[in-house]
A = this chain, B = another copy of it.
Amino acid sequence: MAAAFPEIEKIRYEGPKSKNPLAFRWYNPDEVIEGKTMAEHLRFSVVYWHTFRGTGSDPFGPGTMLRPWDDGSESVENAIRRVKVAFEFIEKLGAPFYAFHDRDVAPEGATLRESHKNFDAVAKVLKDEQDRTGIKLLWGTANLFSNPRFMHGAATSSHADVFAYGAAQVKKCLEVTKALGGENYVFWGGREGYQNLLNTDLKRELDHLAKFFHMAVDYAKKIGFTGQFLIEPKPKEPTKHQYDSDAAACLNFLRSYDLLPYFKLNLETNHATLAGHTMMHELEYAGMQGALGSIDANTGDLLLGWDTDQFPTNLYLTTECMLAILKWGGMGAGGVNFDAKVRRESFEPIDLFYAHIGGMDAFARGLKIAAEMRADGEFTKFVKDRYSTWDSGIGAEIESGKATFETLEAYMLEKGEISPHKSGRQEMLENLFNRYF
């Protein structure tokens, strides 16, 4: 098979002065930061769905993408050809990981059995390509949202058959993910929610969702799949409301149904902002709850109200992400997964390279800046000082559990008023942040 990108050579690191749009200016995989290489910190992953299956369609028009290697058919042959193009792309790009949905890589068949068979056939080629290139699977997941059978939800469908169908699909996908050495398994519940409450039994649906996750945990144990389970929060779109709306909603659900030990979160920037949170908030929140698993690296447009899934290039964003990730000790088995798509108007194959190079460079630069900030320690010191009243005296008594409402009232009646406050210095800190750019 001829190369799909014959004119592109392996993308190389050329340093900040390079003007080559097909080179890295910041991502230098072997450069060591805080004792680990950039590659180890960032664990970049290319997504199969947007990058190899995205057509450029939107609600007002069909696809636009030029993909000469793809004949548009839903055949296994076409799927296998696509796998080879994908690995050529990922290898030339130099990303160590990829991620897929079952239905991205292999066509759905006329029956479940046929779908399983198709999936097996393509998985074999994925395995071969992984072995050939050393590229690894960051995570697998099952698409339980596209097919009309999932219109009312999958695990939360009003129709029990759909739960069963979803269970069968996840079972298979867990097996394949295990076979391919996948390091995580992700659930994104795009249709797990409701369009309106008038026809919905919310509690019954959530009870079902918990049952589904417990079955997944049980089955993973049974087959010895030791990858990390991840839930990916998103508040809405396609549904009016998705049950996994943000980090807090996911964690409350997991706690309610005794699932917390088995799951972490896969946080996405555009989903955070659709839920009204900054990505840094979601990272900090998940981090402090011990649930920071992985990230879907992209960006949205805060003036638009849907998931634009754009490639992340904003250096403030990537620096904030890396600050939070470094602070909470990294993402373990997770990675920086580009759940992002080229614009409908960026329809040429080379745009895929530009997009990924820009995203990787933006994260590499964010990592370097974050590490520099941490080495300087000015932010850390500021925060430490800001909370210093908690390190001794009344603060320490509260933290240690000695204080009660009565001892605190006595303390304050005696004192009459608090000792003076210090400024929060937001503007100074924002200026300091800019000093690193």
Contacts and interface: CB of A to CB of B under 8 A. Distances in A.
A345 B423 contact: yes
Contacts of A405: 167-168, 170-171, 215-216, 218-219
A275 B383 CA distance: 28
A151 B421 contact: yes
Given A63-B148, A151-B64, A203 B408 contact: no
Interface in A418-437: 418-419, 421-435, 437
A148 B393 CA distance: 23
B394 A161 contact: yes
Contacts of A418: 149, 159, 161-162, 164-165
Contacts of A275: 276
Interface stretch (A121-129, A178-186, A300-308): A300-308
Main secondary structure of the interface of A (DSSP, over half): helix
**What is the oligomeric copy number?**
4
Contact of A303 (B197, B255, B278, B383): B278
A297 B409 CA distance: 33
Contacts of A53: none
A62 interface: yes
A130 interface: no
Given A64-B151, A405-B219, A412-B165, A197 B281 contact: yes
Contacts of A277: 241, 303
B59 A346 contact: no
A93 to B, nearest CB: 13
Contacts of A36: none
Interface in A371-403: 379, 382-383, 386-387, 389-390, 393-395, 398-399, 401, 403
Nearest to A340: B427
Contact of A288 (B203, B358, B430): B203
A211 interface: yes
B249 A343 contact: no
A406 to B, nearest CB: 7
B151 A344 contact: yes
A329 to B, nearest CB: 13
Contact of A305 (B146, B306, B320): B306
8 contacts: A159-B422, A168-B413, A198-B433, A201-B387, A215-B408, A236-B303, A305-B305, A345-B423
Closest 8 CB pairs of A and B: A305-B305, A160-B395, A345-B424, A302-B302, A252-B252, A161-B418, A203-B288, A358-B431
